[in-house]
């Protein structure tokens, strides 16, 4: 034994023990793993949350020195990025200017024209400022940040932003820093506005950059309430010279003192910018994530054969994700801080770690024998795959270790994470996933135990299932629809779409809601105008050109804040007291940069191709400048066209405007929302199937759980196909016969109806002429036509239901085409007298019967007259009430007292065997009695009609062979019916003028010791099954008994024989025997059911049997091995039919179900009617046009095989 | 007769799939679009390395390279993706290793990862870059392909493509935005090799799907 072998064995054994452990204590192990995941992830709390927001660090101005490049050990508070010089020092001069006192003669433009005009002199002052000391002369030129060209894409900004010089921006840049241009500009607002970006824009606008304050705070507006203009002059400095800056500050303060300024000037703010994620970077990122999700999707799709597919898929993903988190957490714990962009490397990590092991594990475990204990299955599955799993892990670790030696730091870090992730993933796979798998398998096992309880005799009730194949079988279009319906995809897409839409709305903020809110908030700040009474807002405060016009306006109330003393005596202007602008400095000015810094600085620098990503800038304390301008100055600087900016006659106050915008926004938003909802609703209606989401609940009572479904809990959609109901019989249908073209049915009342099998039209009604005494139910009578009402009038049994109940137990059993062996039927025929019994209970209508009988008696004067009412085909007959047909021929020998026990239909002849032993031949089209044979006295229990021979089995065990003879030779008869795939030979068509004679050719008196229960004829053989446990095979031509087949230990209940001489029989002992008809030997003998075998069908490859135990078993025909079984609902019908080689149809409670024979899954269920409760389908015939006829209480149901299934064929 | 019956039986969709020519066209189109998409995205990755920040109109940078580059990549990938199953068929050694879509996705992800690494990770020198990328590409081949034909075709096409690119550069049709020329030269062959392997993988998977459908049809017949 090599080392490798030994190692392999050891690993396998270890995995086996581990599997046992996991499956034995699932809950503690899951708890333990969860706890360890949480513990390992705990260090992650310390990490900063990912985001691109800038980080701020504040230092004092006094002792400021440029930080060193190398990290200093002793300084613990400094952030990591605070190393080396900043990209730039930003010095801002914050200017607040107002025309004071405000004069009514001033126009709105005066609010900002002269204050902005003063920027040029300030700029002059700053540019020309020099500081001289011992070390030399310093000016702004030597200190400022020199910039070169703008980026090529920004040509349109060339005239505005500085190039090849100091980076110094101010509102003066709009006019190229030239006073003349400013003075010549007739419309300042237009100049400012023309550089605003069109449409929705999320980055900073040029206006924000040049003014340096938020748009709302500049006060450059015709409707400004405060009439204070705020702007900044921003200087970017490349080096820090405290003395120069100090002298500049002192100079400006001296020129323009700000008396009430409380701004602090001792703090310097350093702002660090993280890497910004642009769309360009986002696209590859999104691509990798899409690939990742595709990978996860394709991987988890392979999980099969488990209870909850989605649960396990989730567990697999959780395993991988938490192992990644654990790896990051562990690395952080041991001092390694992640420097890589987590979002970027995450998909690659997942792909490297992979879901493969998990899938291999699942596959291995589910492929272990199902009859093992769960523990052992898990252990075996683990140990089977242990070697490959270990090999896999070792290989991956090896590859990653190689990667570690590339000595590239980023790759090394990636590999480190991957190694730790792999190890923790292995740990989680072994503990977490295995345990979850064991729990899942156990749940599945429970299901199987339930099935096994019901089905002791067959140990393997495993239903073979291959969902992968299911996809291939349905047409593409339907698969898509089913997929949509199953996953509620449309709903989810709509939901996600709405959420994304809302998110985009909030983010891009097209209506300016956010800025509006911000403005609202800042206006409510204590230093704003919150002190003013609210109605002041609506008061017109803009004096018009005509001072008298304002007289009519309510006088503005006294401002609550007394103007400060730097104004003059114009306050005492009587009752017209315009609000004089006041300039106040508050903490909001100090933090003014905070509103903008997020995007302002990076975009400003990016114009010059300087990135701030991963770098920082230092913002120096602002220099406050207060400017008070006299009205005279304002008027002097006025442009001639300024005065035409008169306020509108009814001046809109900003509040009103804001309100209007808000209303507009709200109305538009509402309209858009309503439109979207309508649109989505339409989409929903178009996309989604009609009974979407209420799968299988159209009948109200029927819940989803009641539906037949496969073991995934997936029940296929209930078909929309409504079966064709053939109504007309007044009582339960007893016999059903078909030759492919016609369909004959006989109900308990003895009425025979012939239907067109294609269209479902009722062609002929052969009434049970007049009154009839049921042989067994005693005292119940039926008169055609008036029966229903009559019965009700009698008050005896208005309700059809109890009536039926009472009848069923004593119903004569039929063995016509499909054996009807539900336990309700009393199969002991010997107890039944062939003739009527006196009524035991109920009402005795004897007198009534006699009277009515008398009335009808005179009519049969002619022996064999055709029916007076020529029974033409009745087209709209579906649902017809039973029509009173005048008592026709009533030939003498016909006795109406016996009921039809067996019926066969060939060509246009209906052979009916009656309980009195009479054999009648009716014309199916014309409804006339063609022939009658009364040779036997014992009731006919079963009939076979083959070519021109009729075989009748009687209650006493004898078998009679009849020949149907006509006056014509058989060869001249017309044949009807295409030679289809069915076993039925083409039937001769007897014309109505032909005289038909039915001759008893041979009678086998003691064919069986006990009543014959089943009779089948095919391929020139007649096979009978009897209560005496034997099957006999006769030759049809000469009625010679070929074999007596013995092998069953119970009465024979079902026989199948077809043209290919395959003979199968099922008995009350639950056994199924396959025989060779040529030799009479038994091919195989299997026990399949607990209780009677109720029905048997064969296809070329398999045998399908159903039993009283509600199980349908599918057997391999050649080997006799059970392939699989289908557990049906309790009490559902035992009727079976094979439509094609691979399509099985079964009758259930009020429904028929279609099954795929190859895989045993349910394809479709068709409900027969609304009130299907308690009505089982007992007989089921498959017609040649792939339609199915089944009885449904008193109705017949014609179900055309759904088109989906037809295509499968 | 059989053809008509199969059409009527399985419906037009499968019939279209089983038609060989149509199938090749569909596969080619899919591969072409995959190639174009990958070219655009990976080009973006490379652009990022050289340009620090974008002017406001970012989307134009997606198409900043010559217009003919993505179509070329698309056609090349269509060609390669069709060639691989063909060669497998000719050599008579069908590709056996893990033929599943999840594996293909993994392969694509690793390919994008290699590109990402070459674009984002700062290497000390070009030799290191070349060696690392070569190791990664070989690893990719070993993990997802492991066929001799795949390796041979990959190396051949990579060399050819590098040669063509160099010729284009010498003739001035195309130029690198990269600061140094050697960088691109060390980077290009490995990327080409990995790309060929990836596209070959996708092509084989698509061909496999065709095989499945054809087999299915045979079964049905």
Per-residue pLDDT of A216-239, as tens digits, reads 677 777 776 777 888 888 888 888
Beta-bridge partner residues of A960: A952, A1003
- Closest Cα of chain A to B91: distance in Å? 29
Alpha-carbon distance A442 to A374, whole Å?
Answer: 6
pLDDT for res B193: 93
The stretch A843-855 carries a mean pLDDT of 50
Please compute, for residue A935, the number of CA atoms within 13 A of its CA located in the half-sphere on the CB side.
18
pLDDT at residue A139 is higher than 90: no
pLDDT for res A861: 39
pLDDT at residue A1203 is higher than 80: no
pLDDT at residue A632 is higher than 70: yes
Question: Which residue of chain A is at minimal alpha-carbon distance from B104?
Answer: A295
Q: Which of A565-569, B41-45, B78-82 has the lowest mean pLDDT?
A: A565-569
Alpha-carbon distance A744 to A728, whole Å?
Answer: 12
Chain B positions in Cβ-Cβ contact with residue A472 (cut-off 8 Å): 216
Question: Which residue of chain B is at minimal alpha-carbon distance from A345?
Answer: B113
Please report the residues numbered 268 through 327 in chain A whose beta carbons come closer than 8 angstroms to any beta carbon of chain B: 276, 278-281, 283-284, 287-288, 291-292, 294-295, 298-299, 301-302
pLDDT at residue A858 is higher than 70: no
The stretch A51-74 carries a mean pLDDT of 70
A342 touches chain B (CB under 8 A): no
pLDDT for res A694: 36
pLDDT at residue A1024 is higher than 90: no
Q: Which of A143-157, A290-304, A418-432, B178-192 has the lowest mean pLDDT?
A: B178-192
pLDDT for res A482: 59
Per-residue pLDDT of A160-215, as tens digits, reads 788 888 888 888 888 888 888 888 888 888 888 777 655 444 455 777 778 877 77
pLDDT for res B1: 39
pLDDT at residue A757 is higher than 90: no
A151 touches chain B (CB under 8 A): yes
Of these ranges, A307-321, A527-541, A678-692, the one predicted with the greatest mean pLDDT is A307-321
Alpha-carbon distance A548 to A540, whole Å?
Answer: 14
Task: Name which residue leads in pLDDT, A69 or A94.
Answer: A94
Burial level of A261, CB count in 10 A (0-12/13-18/19+)? Answer: buried
pLDDT for res A192: 81
Interface mutation target, options A199, A275, A284, chain B, most CBs of B under 10 Å: A284
Task: Name which residue leads in pLDDT, A290 or A892.
Answer: A290
Per-residue pLDDT of A697-729, as tens digits, reads 333 333 333 444 333 334 444 445 667 777 777
Q: Is B109 in contact with A284 (Cβ distance < 8 A)?
A: no
Encoded tokens for A222: 């015709």
Is the pTM of the predicted complex or chain greater than 0.80? no
pLDDT at residue A513 is higher than 70: no
Cβ count near A1140 (within 10 Å): 16
pLDDT for res B166: 81
Q: Is A294 in contact with B54 (Cβ distance < 8 A)?
A: no
Q: Is A472 in contact with B216 (Cβ distance < 8 A)?
A: yes
pLDDT for res B79: 92
A1209 touches chain B (CB under 8 A): yes
Given pLDDT bands bounded at 50, 70 and 90, which one contains residue B199?
A: very high
Alpha-carbon distance A714 to A691, whole Å?
Answer: 16
Instruction: Tell me the percentage of chain A whose pLDDT exceeds 70.
Output: 63
pLDDT for res B75: 93
Q: Choose the closest CB to A284 out of B45, B59, B61.
A: B45
Burial A191-207 (b: 16+ CB within 10 A, else e): ebeebeeeeeeeebbbb
Per-residue pLDDT of B113-171, as tens digits, reads 888 888 777 777 778 888 888 888 988 898 888 888 889 989 999 999 888 888 877 77
pLDDT at residue A649 is higher than 60: no
pLDDT at residue A820 is higher than 70: no
ipTM for this model: 0.82
Do the Cβ atoms of A196 and A205 come closer than 8 Å? yes
pLDDT for res B11: 47
Alpha-carbon distance A1083 to A1081, whole Å?
Answer: 6
Given pLDDT bands bounded at 50, 70 and 90, which one contains residue A686?
A: low
Give, as one character, the DSSP assignment of residue A705.
Answer: G
Cis ω before A101 (30° cut-off from 0): yes
Chain A positions in Cβ-Cβ contact with residue B122 (cut-off 8 Å): 408, 410
A606 touches chain B (CB under 8 A): yes
Q: Which of A274-283, A370-379, A511-520, A653-662 has the lowest mean pLDDT?
A: A511-520
Given pLDDT bands bounded at 50, 70 and 90, which one contains residue A475?
A: low
The stretch A288-305 carries a mean pLDDT of 82
pLDDT for res B34: 92
Alpha-carbon distance A548 to A936, whole Å?
Answer: 129
To the nearest whole number, what is the mean pLDDT of chain A? Answer: 69
pLDDT for res A243: 85
pLDDT at residue B33 is higher than 90: yes
Beta strands in A721-833 (DSSP E): 724-726, 733-738, 742-747, 752-756, 762-766
Chain A positions in Cβ-Cβ contact with residue B56 (cut-off 8 Å): 153, 203
Q: Choose the closest CB to B108 out of A279, A291, A352.
A: A291
Alpha-carbon distance A676 to A1092, whole Å?
Answer: 62
pLDDT for res B49: 58
Interface mutation target, options B41, B56, B127, B219, chain A, most CBs of A under 10 Å: B56
Alpha-carbon distance A1022 to A1044, whole Å?
Answer: 12
Alpha-carbon distance A60 to A250, whole Å?
Answer: 19
pLDDT for res A1094: 84
Per-residue pLDDT of B48-73, as tens digits, reads 655 433 344 444 555 555 677 888 88
pLDDT for res A278: 60
Instruction: Tell me the percentage of chain A whose pLDDT exceeds 90.
Output: 0
Task: State whether residue B28 is helix, strand or coil.
Answer: helix
The stretch A117-128 carries a mean pLDDT of 87
Given pLDDT bands bounded at 50, 70 and 90, which one contains residue A862?
A: very low
Beta-bridge partner residues of A1113: A1105, A1125
Given pLDDT bands bounded at 50, 70 and 90, which one contains residue A143?
A: confident
Given pLDDT bands bounded at 50, 70 and 90, which one contains residue A800?
A: very low
Distances in Å between the alpha carbon of A310 and those of A22, A355, A479, A682, A712? 21, 15, 19, 31, 11
Cβ count near A212 (within 10 Å): 27
The stretch A341-370 carries a mean pLDDT of 79
Instruction: Please name the residues in contact with A936: beta carbons below 8 A apart, sequence gap of 6 or more.
Output: A917, A918, A919, A952, A954, A958, A960, A1000, A1003
Distances in Å between the alpha carbon of A1069 and those of A139, A1053, A1065, A1077? 115, 9, 11, 22
Q: Which of A28-32, A860-864, A964-968 has the lowest mean pLDDT?
A: A860-864
pLDDT for res A461: 35
Do the Cβ atoms of A1145 and A1165 come closer than 8 Å? no
Q: Residue A1079: in which H helix or E strand, if any?
A: none
The stretch A784-790 carries a mean pLDDT of 39
Q: Is A298 in contact with B53 (Cβ distance < 8 A)?
A: no
Q: Which of A32-46, A965-979, B205-219 has the lowest mean pLDDT?
A: A965-979
Alpha-carbon distance A936 to A923, whole Å?
Answer: 22
The string of DSSP codes covering A613-675 is BT-EEEEPPPEEEEEEE-HHHHHHT--GGGGG-PPPSSPPPHHHHHHHHHHHHHHHHHHHHHH
């Amino acid at each position: 034994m090599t080392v490798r072998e030994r190692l392999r064995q050891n690993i396998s054994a270890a995995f086996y023990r581990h599997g046992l452990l996991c499956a034995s204590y699932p809950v503690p192990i899951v708890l333990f793993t969860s706890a360890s995941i949480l513990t390992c992830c705990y260090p992650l709390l310390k990490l900063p949350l990912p985001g691109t927001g800038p980080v701020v660090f504040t230092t004092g101005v006094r002792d400021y020195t440029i930080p060193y490049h190398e990290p200093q050990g002793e300084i613990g508070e400094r952030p990591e990025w605070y190393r080396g010089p900043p990209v730039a020092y930003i010095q801002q001069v914050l200017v607040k200017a107002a025309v004071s006192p405000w004069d009514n003669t001033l126009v709105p433009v005066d609010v900002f024209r002269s204050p902005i005009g003063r920027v040029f002199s300030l700029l002059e002052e700053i540019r020309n400022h020099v500081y001289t000391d011992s070390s030399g002369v310093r000016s702004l030129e030597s200190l400022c940040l020199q910039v070169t060209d703008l980026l090529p894409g920004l040509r349109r900004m060339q005239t505005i932003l500085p190039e090849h010089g100091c980076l110094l921006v101010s509102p003066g840049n709009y006019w190229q820093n030239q006073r003349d241009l400013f003075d010549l500009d007739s419309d300042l607002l237009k100049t400012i506005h023309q550089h605003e970006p069109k449409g929705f824009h999320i980055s900073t606008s040029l206006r924000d950059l040049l003014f340096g304050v938020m748009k709302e705070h500049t006060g450059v507006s015709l409707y400004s309430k405060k009439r204070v203009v705020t702007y900044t002059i921003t200087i970017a400095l490349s080096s820090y010279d405290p003395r120069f800056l100090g002298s500049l500050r002192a100079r400006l303060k001296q020129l323009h003192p700000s008396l009430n300024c409380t701004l602090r000037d001792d703090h310097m703010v350093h702002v660090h910018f993280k890497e910004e994620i642009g769309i360009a970077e986002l696209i590859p990122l999104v691509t990798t994530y899409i690939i990742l999700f595709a990978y996860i999707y394709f991987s988890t799709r392979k999980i099969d054969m488990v209870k909850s597919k989605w649960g396990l898929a989730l567990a697999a993903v959780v395993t991988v994700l938490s192992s990644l988190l654990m790896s990051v957490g562990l690395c952080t714990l041991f001092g390694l801080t992640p420097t890589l962009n987590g979002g970027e490397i995450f998909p690659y990590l997942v792909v490297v770690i992979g879901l493969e092991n998990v899938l291999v594990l699942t596959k291995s475990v589910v492929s272990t024998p199902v009859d093992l204990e769960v523990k052992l299955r898990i252990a075996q599955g683990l140990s089977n795959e242990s070697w490959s799993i270990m090999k896999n892990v070792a290989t991956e670790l090896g590859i990653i270790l190689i990667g570690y030696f590339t000595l590239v730091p980023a790759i090394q870090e990636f590999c480190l994470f991957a190694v730790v992730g792999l190890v923790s993933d292995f740990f989680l796979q072994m503990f977490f996933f295995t345990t979850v798998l064991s729990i899942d398998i156990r749940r599945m096992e429970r299901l199987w135990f339930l099935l096994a309880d019901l089905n002791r005799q067959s140990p393997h009730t495993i239903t073979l299932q291959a969902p992968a194949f299911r996809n291939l079988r349905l047409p593409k279009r339907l698969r898509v629809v089913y997929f949509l319906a199953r996953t509620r995809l449309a709903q989810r897409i709509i939901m996600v779409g709405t959420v994304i839409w809302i998110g985009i709305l909030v983010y891009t903020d097209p209506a300016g809601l956010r800025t509006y809110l911000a403005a609202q908030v800042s206006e409510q700040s204590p230093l704003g105008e919150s002190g003013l009474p609210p109605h002041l807002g609506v008061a017109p405060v803009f004096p018009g050109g005509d001072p008298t016009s304002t007289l009519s306006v309510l006088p503005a109330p006294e401002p609550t804040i007394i103007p400060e003393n730097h104004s003059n005596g114009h306050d005492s202007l009587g009752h017209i007291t315009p609000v004089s602008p006041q300039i106040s400095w508050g903490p909001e000015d100090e933090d003014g940069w905070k509103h903008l810094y997020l995007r302002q600085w990076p975009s400003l620098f990016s114009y010059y191709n300087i990135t701030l990503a991963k770098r920082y800038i230092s913002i120096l304390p602002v220099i406050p400048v207060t400017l008070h301008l006299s009205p005279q100055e304002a008027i002097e600087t006025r442009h001639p066209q300024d005065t035409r900016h008169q306020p509108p006659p009814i001046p809109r106050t900003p509040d009103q405007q804001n309100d209007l915008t808000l209303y507009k926004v709200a109305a538009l938003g509402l309209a858009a929302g309503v439109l979207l909802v309508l649109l989505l609703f339409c989409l929903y209606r178009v996309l989604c199937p009609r009974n979407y989401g209420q799968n299988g609940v159209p009948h109200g009572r029927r819940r989803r759980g009641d539906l037949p479904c496969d073991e995934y809990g997936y029940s296929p959609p209930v078909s929309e196909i409504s079966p064709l109901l053939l109504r007309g019989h007044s009582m339960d249908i007893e016999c059903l016969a078909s030759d492919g073209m016609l369909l004959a049915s006989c109900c308990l009342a003895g009425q025979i109806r012939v239907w067109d099998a294609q269209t479902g039209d009722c062609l002929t009604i052969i009434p049970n002429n007049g009154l009839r005494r049921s042989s067994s139910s005693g005292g119940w009578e039926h008169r055609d036509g008036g029966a229903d009402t009559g019965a009700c009038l009698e008050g005896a049994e208005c309700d059809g239901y109890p009536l039926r109940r009472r009848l069923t137990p004593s119903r004569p059993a039929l063995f016509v085409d499909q054996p009807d062996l539900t336990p309700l039927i009393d199969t002991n025929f010997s107890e039944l007298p062939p003739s009527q019994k006196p009524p035991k209970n109920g009402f005795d209508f004897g007198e009534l019967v006699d009277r009515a009988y008398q009335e009808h008696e005179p009519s049969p004067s002619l022996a064999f007259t055709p029916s007076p009412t020529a029974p033409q085909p009745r087209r709209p007959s579906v649902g017809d009430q039973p029509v009173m047909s005048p008592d026709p021929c009533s030939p003498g020998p016909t006795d109406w007292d016996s009921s039809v026990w067996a019926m066969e239909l060939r060509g246009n002849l209906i052979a009916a065997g009656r309980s009195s032993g009479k054999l009648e031949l009716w014309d199916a089209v014309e409804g006339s009695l063609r022939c009658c044979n009364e040779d036997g006295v014992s009731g006919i229990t079963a009939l076979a009609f083959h070519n021109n021979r009729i075989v009748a089995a009687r209650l006493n065990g004898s078998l009679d062979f009849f020949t149907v003879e006509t006056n014509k030779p058989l060869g001249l008869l017309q044949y009807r019916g295409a030679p289809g795939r069915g076993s039925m030979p083409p039937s001769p068509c007897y014309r109505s003028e032909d005289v038909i004679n039915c001759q008893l050719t041979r009678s086998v008196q003691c064919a069986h010791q006990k009543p014959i229960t089943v009779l089948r004829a095919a391929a020139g053989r007649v096979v009978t099954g009897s209560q005496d446990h034997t099957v006999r095979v006769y030759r049809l031509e000469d009625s010679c008994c070929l074999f007596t087949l013995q092998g069953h230990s119970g009465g024979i209940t079902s026989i199948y024989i077809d043209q290919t001489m395959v003979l199968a029989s099922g008995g009350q002992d639950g056994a199924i025997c396959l025989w060779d008809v040529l030799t009479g030997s038994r091919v195989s003998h299997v026990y399949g059911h607990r209780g009677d075998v109720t029905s048997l069908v064969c296809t070329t490859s398999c045998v399908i049997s159903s039993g009283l135990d509600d199980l349908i078993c599918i057997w391999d025909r050649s080997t006799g091995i059970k392939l699989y079984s289908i557990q049906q609902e309790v009490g559902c019908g035992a009727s079976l039919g094979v439509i094609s080689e691979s399509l099985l149809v079964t009758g259930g409670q009020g429904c028929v179900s279609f099954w795929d024979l190859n895989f045993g899954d349910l394809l479709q269920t068709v409900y027969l009617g609304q009130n299907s409760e308690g009505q089982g389908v007992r007989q089921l015939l498959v017609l040649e046009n792939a339609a199915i006829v089944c009885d449904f209480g008193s109705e017949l149901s014609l179900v055309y095989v759904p088109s989906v299934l037809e295509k499968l064929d | 007769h059989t053809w008509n019956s199969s059409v009527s039986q399985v419906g037009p969709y499968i019939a279209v799939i089983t038609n060989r020519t149509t199938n090749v066209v569909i596969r080619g189109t899919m591969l072409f679009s995959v190639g174009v998409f990958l070219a655009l995205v990976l080009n973006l990755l490379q652009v990022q390395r050289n340009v620090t920040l974008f002017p406001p109109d970012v989307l134009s940078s997606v198409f900043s390279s010559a217009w003919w580059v993505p179509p070329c990549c698309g056609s090349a990938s269509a060609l390669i993706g069709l060639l691989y199953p063909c060669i497998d068929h000719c050599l008579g050694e069908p590709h056996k290793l893990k033929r599943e879509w999840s594996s293909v996705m993994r392969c694509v992800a690793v390919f994008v990862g290699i590109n990402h690494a070459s674009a984002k990770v700062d290497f000390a020198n070009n030799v290191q870059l070349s060696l690392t990328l070569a190791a990664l590409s070989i690893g990719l081949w070993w993990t997802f392909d492991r066929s001799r034909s795949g390796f041979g075709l990959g190396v051949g096409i990579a060399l050819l493509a590098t040669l063509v690119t160099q010729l284009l550069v010498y003739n001035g049709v195309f130029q690198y935005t990269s600061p140094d020329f050697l960088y691109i030269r060390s980077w290009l062959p490995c990327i080409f090799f990995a790309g060929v392997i990836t596209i070959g993988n996708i092509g084989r998977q698509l061909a496999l799907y065709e095989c499945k459908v054809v087999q299915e049809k045979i079964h049905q017949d």
